[in-house]
């Protein structure tokens, strides 16, 4: 098992973004000095009330500040991207990290993000599957031609190519059954969100491993679980230091349309935190 840290890219709009960026890079240096294996960052757009640092730009900064670590996206909202451009950016990050880049991709769930990019949400699965194929081929082949529903091109080669052979792993974020099966079939691994309870996760893991076996694919070497972790001397300290931040974080996610969790608006902050944390967070 390897351990990494997911950087917080989301900060209140009232915060100084330059200061928060400097703190984030300081955290990256500390993560490296403490012996963690990897650093991850997420992606969101049009986030009212919050700064949200651009994912790939942030990871490029981290690559310079914390050399030797694996860097991963968790997740890149793949249907919003041109796969050729993303393949080029990912290849560059693989070079910048010395062959230690992991591309984690997902569908996303916010209509606002699709609207701002002018992409119908009804196209997201089709674009996702097609983009995975394009990126993998551009990373591992030269003179790639593609005639798909959403993208068409001839004799494309990217430079630089990734250092990893045949290419960096493409790890797919998935929560519902159909998405988990898709991740098993077309991905090199699975990114697990911090939403399912322990019992739900056991069932989801069975779905994933069964789908891999039915597709005659080897067990994946990249099963990554995103987990909220908090350390405190006692519950009172936990509620004072950690609960307010996590409650506000998940309130924002709920307002953006995140499914799979609910938060009782009439409950006390302590009750809200416990409802989120039980069988989900490591506290």
Beta bridge partners of residue 173, listed in sequence order: 191
CA dihedral 225, 231, 237, 243 (to 10 degrees): -20
Can you give the pLDDT at residue 253?
67
CATH fold group of domain 4-168: TIM Barrel (3.20.20)
Over the stretch 240-277, which tens digit does the pLDDT of each residue have?
777 677 767 666 666 666 666 665 666 665 666 666 66
* Alpha carbon distances (Å) from 100 to 93, 125, 184, 203: 8, 27, 22, 31
Residue of 259, 262, 256, 258 lying closest to 276 (CA atoms): 262
Over the stretch 172-190, which tens digit does the pLDDT of each residue have?
999 999 999 999 999 999 9
pLDDT at 53 over 90: yes
Can you give the pLDDT at residue 269?
59
- Per domain, the residue ranges of the chain are 4-168, 229-283
d(CA 136, CA 151): 15
pTM of the full predicted structure? 0.88
Residue keyed to tokens 């950690």 = 242
Q: Collapse the DSSP code of 71 into the 3-class scheme (helix H, G, I; strand E, B; otherwise coil) and give the result.
A: strand
d(CA 78, CA 128): 6
Do residues 248 and 276 make contact, with C-beta atoms less than 8 angstroms apart? no
């Amino acid at each position: 098992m390897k351990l990494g840290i997911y950087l917080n890219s989301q900060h209140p709009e009232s915060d100084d973004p330059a200061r928060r960026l400097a703190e984030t890079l300081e955290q990256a240096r500390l993560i490296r000095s403490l012996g963690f294996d990897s650093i991850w960052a997420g992606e969101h757009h049009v986030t009212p009330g919050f700064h949200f640092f651009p994912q790939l730009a942030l990871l490029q900064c981290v690559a310079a500040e914390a050399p030797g670590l694996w860097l991963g996206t968790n997740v890149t909202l793949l249907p919003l991207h041109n796969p050729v451009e993303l393949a080029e950016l990912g290849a560059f990050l693989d070079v910048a990290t010395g062959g230690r880049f992991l591309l984690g991709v997902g569908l996303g769930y916010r209509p606002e993000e699709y609207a701002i990019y002018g992409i119908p949400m009804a196209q997201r699965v089709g674009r996702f599957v097609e983009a995975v194929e394009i990126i993998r081929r551009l990373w591992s082949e030269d003179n790639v031609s593609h005639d798909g529903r959403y993208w068409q091109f001839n004799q494309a080669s990217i430079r630089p190519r990734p250092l990893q052979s045949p290419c960096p792993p493409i790890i797919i974020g998935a929560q519902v059954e159909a998405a988990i099966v898709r991740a098993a079939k077309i991905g090199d691994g699975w990114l697990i969100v911090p939403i399912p309870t322990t019992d739900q996760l056991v069932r989801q893991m069975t779905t994933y491993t069964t789908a891999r076996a039915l597709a005659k694919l080897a067990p994946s070497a990249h099963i990554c679980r995103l987990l909220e972790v908090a350390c405190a001397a006692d519950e009172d300290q936990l509620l004072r230091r950690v609960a307010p931040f996590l409650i506000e974080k998940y309130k924002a996610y709920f307002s953006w349309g995140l499914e799979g969790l609910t938060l009782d608006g009439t409950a006390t902050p302590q009750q809200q935190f416990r409802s989120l944390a039980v069988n989900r967070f490591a506290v």
